[in-house]
Amino acid sequence: MTTMNLLHAELLKARKQQINIFLVLIITFVAVFFHGWLVIAAKVNPSYIKDAEVFLPYYNSLNLSVKVISFFSSIIAIVFVANSVGGEYSQDTWKMILPRYGSRIKFITTKLIVGLLAMILLYLLGVTSWLALSAFSYWLLDLNPPPQVLLTLKNGLPVSNSLKTLVLEMFSMSFYGSLTLLATIGARSFPGGILGGSVSSLLMTTATIIPSKYVSLSLPSLHIANLSAQWMQNKKEIEAVAMAFRGNVSMSVSLVIVLAYITCFIITALLLFQKRDMAGH
């Protein structure tokens, strides 16, 4: 496959970029800090053993790791995309790289695919290292396997919940990623992309309070919340979202609306990128 070369090139860049290494380090730091703290606390004060017994079994550990990474997910998506595309502006490397590609659209598409791959990889890496740390702490504290392990395994709930969260997170990261892509190409810079990506996400969150059905129905962040609430069957969240929407919106409607946003952002970004001159600064 010839396009594998393009993917390899982008992956190497992503791997070497300090900001991406920093993103991985943040997640690693949180994982190490959490487990280190738990083990030391349990060793010093046996009353913490109970907490360890709750947090360390793999199904809870899985859930927790996915939640922790998800906490950072939109920031990660915004920073990654802004850096991946905006970095080419700040060092003016477009002029080296674009004449090689011939097709600009192919280039941005490659970047997007690598972005998605990187997010999946980050999640996998984060979750597996979290699980490994939990297992290690479990062993350090010499805990007995609690009976719930078998119970929950049989019901299969936590694992599938984590998987659902993962899929939802990927979806929402795709949304923030495509929004940031447009912002970065629009502003032609990394800071512009970060600013555009985060300010518009902030605006969407604050716009939730505007008391208008049409405003709330047009807010992609609310639709993402709706998808999450309904798919995870979280009653409290379903009610909260319904209140914001002033009525119920089905999952498929929300899905279509968010997908439409993503498509629009990407197509506008591509058209803008295709049309613009690369004339340096």
Partner 1 sequence: MEQDVAIVTEGLTKCYSKKSVVNNLDLEVMRGQVFGFLGPNGAGKTTTIRMLLGLVKPTAGKIQILGHNLFSNREMIAKKVGAIVETPAFYSYMTGRENLKVLMQSSNISASSKRIDYLLEMVGLKGREKEPVKQYSLGMKQRLGIAATLLSEPEILFLDEPTNGLDPAGTVEMRSLIINLSQQNYTIFLSSHLLNEVELMCTDVVIIQKGEKRLQGKMKELLAQGKEFAIEATPASLAIAVLENYCQTSITVDANGWIVFKAEHFEVPTILRLLIEKGVQIYQVQERRNSLEKLFLELTGQPSESFATVKMEVSLS
Q: Which residue has the tokens 């990506």?
A: 197
Question: Of these, 48, 58, 101, 171, which contacts partner 1 (CB under 8 A)?
Answer: 101
Instruction: Using the Cα atoms of residue 264, residue 268, residue 274 and residue 280 in order, give the sign of their dihedral.
Output: negative
Asked if 99 is part of the footprint of partner 1 (rule: CB under 8 A), the reply reads yes
Asked if 24 is part of the footprint of partner 1 (rule: CB under 8 A), the reply reads no
Question: Of these, 26, 68, 75, 98, which contacts partner 1 (CB under 8 A)?
Answer: 98
The Cα–Cα gap between 172 and 149 comes to 31
What letter represents residue 100's amino acid?
A: R
Asked if 97 is part of the footprint of partner 1 (rule: CB under 8 A), the reply reads yes
CB 11 within 8 A of CB 114: yes
Nearer CB in complex with partner 1: 10/53: 10
Give min distance, CB of 17 to partner 1, in A.
Answer: 6
The closest alpha carbon to 80, from 33, 124, 113, 105, belongs to 113
Question: Of these, 92, 128, 139, 213, which contacts partner 1 (CB under 8 A)?
Answer: 92
Instruction: Using the Cα atoms of residue 69, residue 83, residue 220 and residue 263 in order, give the sign of their dihedral.
Output: negative
Give min distance, CB of 191 to partner 1, in A.
Answer: 17
User: Applying CB under 8 A, which part among 88-96, 129-137, 186-194, 214-222 lies near partner 1?
Assistant: 88-96
In 10 A of CB 178, how many CB atoms?
24
| Token reading at 236 | 């409290």
**Residues lying near partner 1 in the complex (CB under 8 A):** 2-3, 5-6, 8-9, 12-13, 16-18, 91-103, 275, 277-280
